[in-house]
Amino acid sequence: MSKYVVDADHVTIRFNLSNEKINNLKEYAIKLVKKELMFQEFLALDDVSLKVKKGEAWGLIGVNGSGKSTFLKAIAGILKPYKGTIKVRGNIAPMIELGAGFDGELTARENIYMNGTLLGHSKEFMDEHFDEIVEFANIKKFLDSPIKNYSSGMKARLGFAVATVDCPDVLIVDEALEVGDMNFRKKCRERMSELLEGGTTLLFVSHNIKTVREVCDHAIWLDKGKMKMSGEVAEVCDAYQEEQDRLDLERRQKKREKNFKKKGKVYDYLVVGSGLYGAVFAREMENAGKRCLVLEKRPHVGGNIYTEETDGIHVHKYGAHIFHTSDVAVWNYVKNYAPFNNFINSPIAVYKDELYNLPFNMNTFSKLWGVRTPAEAKAKIAEQIADLNITEPQNLEEQALSLVGTDVYEKLIKGYTEKQWGRDCKDLPAFIIKRLPLRFTYNNNYFNDKYQGIPVGGYTQIIENLLDGIDVKTNTDFFKYKKKYKNFKKVVFTGMIDEYFDYKLGHLEYRTVRFETERVEEESYQGNAVVNYTDREVPYTRIIEHKYFEPEKEAAQPKEYTIISKEYSTEWKPGMEPYYPVNDEKNSKLYEAYQELAGKEKNVIFGGRLGQYKYYDMDKVIAAALAEAKKELKK
């Protein structure tokens, strides 16, 4: 005996399509006799096989006209294969077409008994389960009304209730449930789960991929009558969704191209900069049917998150970027454009010949003072703060001392901060440090965010995928471009806001970073992705060992060499790459003046780290760009 409940073997279903219009029966008969009828062969199913075991739930997916319903009708015995065979063990309860098996002139009561008879149930069986069917279908008030007066949802409820009142060997459901309301669909899924647990085999057709994932454990993907893929439901649905997304993007691109030509090739948005802000904004606008041109002055896209592969290692060209967020919407968004690993940032701090864990936590305090408990660490810090007697901090040094005490400040903050800002901590304003997180747990995870990781394959792919299908010009200076071309309606500017206004109010100050990147012929240089050097006498602030951002790749393909980058923080000068703003009182006031100018600028949006003169974590950049895009689309 076969182990398969449904065994469809190389099934082909053929239909004959007429090549000419025949107006009446007489004309048809004459052409038939004269053998002049012309038909075109159409294969609704072409050599499709499917083997289903008892208790399995198979989803049939594909676009309209792919052959899903035809295949189910063949399995149900409604259509006969032109080629191949179909064997079904046990009884079938089909819900292939809405209202199939019902007589519109008969009442619901009469149709229940008639439909039950067609399914092979006795009158006694139907009497016993009549109330159950009526309750499930929720049609008690309309039992004696003709079915023709029923809505599509009512017909679906009644059909499903009758089909599933017993435990059929094979239940076939074809889109019938999509017409019901939310509560009914929930009841149907619960009933199908009960049937599956009882050994019923399910064949389920739906265009709702989410429902297919929830209900089925296997799936078959049909395309133009052919089987494109079959297997585990998640794998097949993922592939199908990816294909539909690709086709949808192509359709939208063709539509945009058509509209673009109609408008005389004028872009809706000229996006200046291909970093996260610009790329996300452009993607959202293009998805909404707008046309964008992205300008990038560098020879590559990606802004400062750009990564390039060097000797099989993804190098963070402009400094280490570790993605972290507690915003589930942003996390889900960015994962659409790259897979992420589960990298956790656990940096090390080196002070002279001493080594400490970061962030400041119990591992740090234990190494500093030999303490073991949070109470001991808190007491030590409190004692040092009390001895300093700082009531109103006048500068950054006093602010830091009043928060963490002498030892943490002297060994882990002072030198690093002075290198980063290029000046003594006593000369820096207190408000730069509003708080210093102290963790009284043994936890070296630098970030508290729920979602963390590094894109497998580097960050560049995120930008490339965001900009897929969008016009991009690299090695292009915006200020030169706008003098020559006027083919845009609005500008999204992510460069330096003071540069946009030609520094008319003066230069805002920035800090910049210089990198020394080299290949080292050692398997491991420092044993960790990030090592900070907190002694001011060491000229660089930290060393990045890039291979440790993707430890899974290194484990799979170990290398006898590594690539490191030393970072040197320096004062920014015109012509240099700005990294982060100097948000002191003087620069904050200057930015406010530029912001006032920006508010008067028509058809220009200023965004991102440089356009808004503020430090942004990557997740906040994405959120800001999404918010601005949403705001624009409401106009």
206 near 175, Cβ under 8 Å? yes
Q: How far apart are CA 466 and CA 281, in angstroms?
A: 9
The first and second tokens of residue 345, run together, are: 């940032």
Pairing verdict, β 471-473 and 292-295: parallel
Give yes or no: 291 in active site. no
Q: How far apart are CA 541 and CA 534, in angstroms?
A: 7
Helix (H) or strand (E) holding 420: helix 414-421
What per-residue string of b and e applies to 269-290 under the rule 16 or more CB within 10 Å gives b?
A: bbbbbbbbbbbbbbbbbbeeeb
The first and second tokens of residue 275, run together, are: 């970093």
Distance of CA 473 to the CA centre of its chain: 26
607 near 496, Cβ under 8 Å? no
493 near 277, Cβ under 8 Å? no
DSSP state of 225: T
The partner residues of 14 in beta bridges, in order of sequence, read 43
- Catalytic one of 28, 485, 503, 615: 615
> Residue 518 in 3-state DSSP?
strand
Q: How far apart are CA 583 and CA 475, in angstroms?
A: 30
Q: How far apart are CA 544 and CA 566, in angstroms?
A: 7
Give yes or no: 283 in active site. no
Give yes or no: 439 in active site. yes
- Catalytic one of 157, 298, 439, 609: 439
**Residue 185 CB neighbours (<10 A):** 16
- Catalytic one of 256, 542, 609, 619: 542
Give yes or no: 189 in active site. no
Q: How far apart are CA 47 and CA 8, in angstroms?
A: 10
Return the closest-CA partner of residue 566 out of 533, 593, 604, 614.
Answer: 533
- Measured in degrees and rounded to the nearest 5, phi and psi for residue 588 equal -65, -40
577 near 609, Cβ under 8 Å? no
Q: How far apart are CA 282 and CA 525, in angstroms?
A: 40
**Residue 2 CB neighbours (<10 A):** 10
Return the closest-CA partner of residue 530 out of 410, 350, 317.
Answer: 350
- Catalytic one of 36, 41, 435, 502: 435
Helix (H) or strand (E) holding 222: strand 218-223
Give yes or no: 518 in active site. no
- Catalytic one of 56, 567, 619, 632: 567
362 near 398, Cβ under 8 Å? no
356 near 362, Cβ under 8 Å? no
- Catalytic one of 213, 481, 511, 540: 511
Which residues are identified as catalytic? 435, 439, 511, 542, 567, 615, 617
